[in-house]
A and B are shown apart, each in its own frame.
Chain A
Amino acid sequence: GNSVTQMEGPVTLSEEAFLTINCTYTATGYPSLFWYVQYPGEGLQLLLKATKADDKGSNKGFEATYRKETTSFHLEKGSVQVSDSAVYFCALSERGGSNYKLTFGKGTLLTVNP
């Protein structure tokens, strides 16, 4: 079946550092790929997505490119802020019933220190 593997955390960075969180996937067909973020005590929020190979998703300074040849969707940000501290989940969509369900990775906890 489909699966998502992401970099294990926790990741601790200083403010303004460069961030990379690795994500690779296994899927049949052509899934869409997502990054979700979960702040403490809250549900998940969609951060960005890409629906086909070579697409780049971006939002709030975060970027990720859908690489079919390496089955990867790594999350990057050039300069992190304290407010970026959260858990980040990589996910792919697969058809479930007549709509799409998400398969998530285990999540990566990011802590950004001032």
Chain B
Amino acid sequence: ETGVTQSPTHLIKTRGQQVTLRCSSQSGHNTVSWYQQALGQGPQFIFQYYREEENGRGNFPPRFSGLQFPNYSSELNVNALELDDSALYLCASSLQGIRDSPLHFGNGTRLTVT
């Protein structure tokens, strides 16, 4: 069973730039969620994708967008980066429709915006 993998592991960008983060879901999982974890804080829900469509969104501006592909992998895109976007971005996969289907997290991408 292949777990959730994220790339890259670390990334440094400049304010105003754009970034794309990638996630491969665990085999057999059809739903991908993205979370932002600022230093010293708990993860915050950004959005979730199922059947290649956004399926729920947290309190994040539209410059945070995503994609899900037919193989269930996903991308998180952030435009016009701000210093406060510096955080660990976590991807989690799960099975749609199963109550409390456990979220399986990747190790995250550490984004630093300078």
Interface residues of A, Cβ cutoff 8 Å to B: 4, 32, 41-46, 49, 51, 89, 91, 93, 96-107
Contact = CB atoms under 8 A, between A and B. Distances in A.
B58 interface: yes
Contacts of B44: 104
Contacts of B43: 44, 89, 102, 104
Closest A-B pairs by Cβ, 9 of them? A97-B56, A104-B42, A96-B56, A43-B105, A97-B55, A44-B105, A101-B45, A43-B107, A32-B100
Contacts of B102: 46, 49
Contacts of A44: 43, 90, 92, 103, 105
A99 to B, nearest CB: 6
A98 B45 CA distance: 15
Contacts of A93: 100
Nearest to B96: A99
25 contacts: A32-B99, A43-B4, A43-B108, A44-B103, A49-B100, A89-B43, A91-B42, A93-B100, A97-B50, A97-B54, A97-B55, A98-B50, A98-B55, A98-B97, A99-B31, A99-B50, A99-B55, A99-B96, A100-B99, A101-B48, A101-B58, A104-B42, A106-B42, A107-B40, A107-B41
A99 B4 contact: no
Contacts of A102: 35, 43, 45, 103
A103 B90 contact: no
A42 B108 CA distance: 7
A4 B48 CA distance: 20
A40 to B, nearest CB: 11
A107 B48 contact: no
B66 interface: no
A99 B45 contact: no
Interface string B41-83: 1111100101000111110000000000000000000000000
Given A99-B96, A101-B58, A43 B42 contact: no
Contacts of B107: 41-43
A96 B33 CA distance: 11
A88 B70 CA distance: 34
